[in-house]
């Protein structure tokens, strides 16, 4: 039934679906189904890179499982004939509190890579975050047309390179910098080690072309891990957040916060917002799921800056739960390259539309007509009261 044809695209092997599989694509009803299809289509090294987490992958599973332990307290008879999902992020109006997180190397999933993702985000009226380790440059993404885009930055050992990159993003119309702070070293991703992961030879880190930034070579380990060890600055600290403010007027989101202490420091050092993230469970294993860490960070922020969440979001119900716990919005990660692999730009559009539709339904069935009506009283967690644990 699911016959597959393999072709070679610019030196990289891709599997194309037969007509029966294309029919199945049109019948996809939830975000998770894209991952199974992407696994069939992508080379093993590529799929494993997108899908895997660090070490035992406990946090990878917990990012999803934690959502299932949060239950709803829906309100009834609330006249939900009109639902408004619009919101603002750093002053920018978007259609829904669902945005796209940065994921590297998207051309491994599809030849149009990050440009296809940018078009899908723009069509959905939401924000795309471009990885500094993208396979499309800030200029290429900007050329796809209008849209609200953020730029994710890894700080390297060469601050001149970082400064050039930030200024290029600013000139290309990007609206904020998402500073990733949880990667002084790369987490131990055992699938990448087994696969001797390396960027396929026909692809490059487009943002660094023309800059002396080394090359990701094959090794007896993960080529990515070796590359990160050579390029990323392990001395990154809070003073560098201040330094970043001296080279750009763009607002800075600190991405990778999991504790109240670091949330307070992020605000102290001038962050315009916080992204609660465990890097898709790809860094330190056995950290909490992001939705479990969220409320602690929200309480520490005290409304001074918006707090966002990424990690494990696969349903509109997940979006609602995050907002009920205080998030101003969520960023979606892995579903983007998986849907991109399966159906290109149309796949990413469908992921965003499905999450939007599910979120709208969750709002209606919970008795909420706008985002401001989503409150902490709409969910129950195991830490609320002693009795709540038994109910969950």
What sign results for the dihedral spanned by CA atoms 354, 140, 180, 167?
negative
Q: Contact 332/310 with Cβ under 8 angstroms?
A: yes
310 annotated as belonging to a binding site for a ligand: yes
113 annotated as belonging to a binding site for a ligand: no
Q: Contact 72/78 with Cβ under 8 angstroms?
A: no
Query: Considering only CA atoms, which of 130, 100, 120 is closest in space to residue 206?
Result: 130
104 annotated as belonging to a binding site for a ligand: yes
Q: Contact 327/276 with Cβ under 8 angstroms?
A: yes
49 annotated as belonging to a binding site for a ligand: yes
Which residues, 6 or more positions from 290, have their beta carbon under 8 angstroms from its beta carbon? Answer: 63, 258, 276, 277, 278, 309, 310, 311, 312
173 annotated as belonging to a binding site for a ligand: no
313 annotated as belonging to a binding site for a ligand: yes
311 annotated as belonging to a binding site for a ligand: yes
C-alpha–C-alpha distance, residues 365 and 273, integer Å: 30
154 annotated as belonging to a binding site for a ligand: yes
Q: Which is the catalytic residue, given 279, 299, 378, 382? A: 279
Query: Considering only CA atoms, which of 24, 4, 1, 2 is closest in space to residue 15?
Result: 4
346 annotated as belonging to a binding site for a ligand: no
161 annotated as belonging to a binding site for a ligand: no
Q: What are phi and psi of 340, to 5 degrees?
A: -60, -45
Q: What is the DSSP string of 23-41?
A: HHHHT--STHHHHHHHHHH
282 annotated as belonging to a binding site for a ligand: yes
312 annotated as belonging to a binding site for a ligand: yes
Q: Does the active-site annotation cover 202?
A: no
378 annotated as belonging to a binding site for a ligand: no
Q: Contact 159/243 with Cβ under 8 angstroms?
A: yes
Q: What is the DSSP string of 69-120?
A: T-EE----S---SS-B--EEETTEEESSSEEE---S-GGGT-TTHHHHHHHH
334 annotated as belonging to a binding site for a ligand: yes
Annotated binding site: 49, 102-104, 131, 152, 154, 180, 189, 255, 277, 279, 282, 310-314, 333-334
As annotated, the binding site for FMN includes: 102-104, 131, 152, 180, 255, 277, 310-314, 333-334
Known catalytic residues? 279
Please state the residue numbers annotated as binding site for glyoxylate: 49, 154, 189, 279, 282
């Amino acid at each position: 039934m699911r016959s597959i044809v393999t072709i070679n695209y610019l030196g990289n092997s891709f599997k194309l679906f037969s007509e029966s599989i294309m029919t199945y694509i049109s019948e996809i009803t939830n975000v998770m189904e894209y991952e199974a299809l992407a696994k069939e289509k992508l080379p093993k090294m590529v799929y494993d890179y997108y899908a895997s987490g660090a070490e035992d992958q406990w946090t990878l599973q917990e990012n999803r499982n934690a959502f299932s332990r949060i239950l709803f307290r829906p309100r009834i008879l609330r006249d939900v004939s009109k639902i408004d999902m619009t919101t603002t992020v750093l002053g920018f109006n978007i259609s829904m509190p669902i945005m796209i997180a940065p994921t590297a190397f998207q051309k491994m999933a599809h030849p149009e890579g990050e440009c296809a993702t940018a078009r899908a985000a723009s069509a959905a009226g939401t924000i795309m975050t471009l990885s500094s380790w993208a396979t499309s440059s800030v200029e290429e993404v900007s050329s796809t047309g209008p849209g609200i885009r953020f730029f994710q930055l890894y700080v390297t050992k060469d601050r001149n390179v970082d400064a050039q990159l930030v200024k290029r993003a600013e000139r290309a119309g990007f609206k904020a910098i998402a500073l990733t702070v949880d990667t002084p070293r790369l987490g131990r991703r055992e699938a990448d080690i087994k696969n001797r992961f390396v960027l396929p030879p026909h692809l490059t880190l487009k943002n660094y072309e023309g800059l002396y930034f080394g090359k990701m070579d094959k090794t007896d380990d993960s080529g990515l891990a070796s590359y990160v060890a050579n390029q990323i600055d392990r001395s990154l600290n809070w003073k560098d957040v201040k330094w970043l403010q001296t080279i750009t007027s763009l607002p800075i989101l600190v991405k990778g916060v999991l504790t109240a202490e670091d949330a307070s420091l992020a605000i102290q050092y001038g962050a315009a917002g916080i992204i609660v993230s465990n890097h898709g469970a790809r860094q330190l294993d056995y950290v909490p799921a992001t939705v479990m860490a969220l409320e602690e960070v929200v309480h520490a922020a005290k409304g001074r800056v918006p707090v966002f969440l990424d990690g494990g979001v696969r349903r509109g119900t997940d979006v609602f739960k995050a907002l009920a716990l205080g998030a101003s919005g969520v960023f979606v990660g892995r579903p983007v390259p998986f849907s991109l692999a399966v159906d290109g730009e149309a796949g990413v559009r469908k992921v965003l539309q499905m999450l939007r539709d599910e979120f709208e339904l969750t709002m209606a069935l919970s008795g909420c007509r706008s985002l401001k009506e989503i409150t902490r009283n709409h969910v129950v967690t195991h830490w609320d009261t002693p009795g709540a644990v038994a109910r969950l």
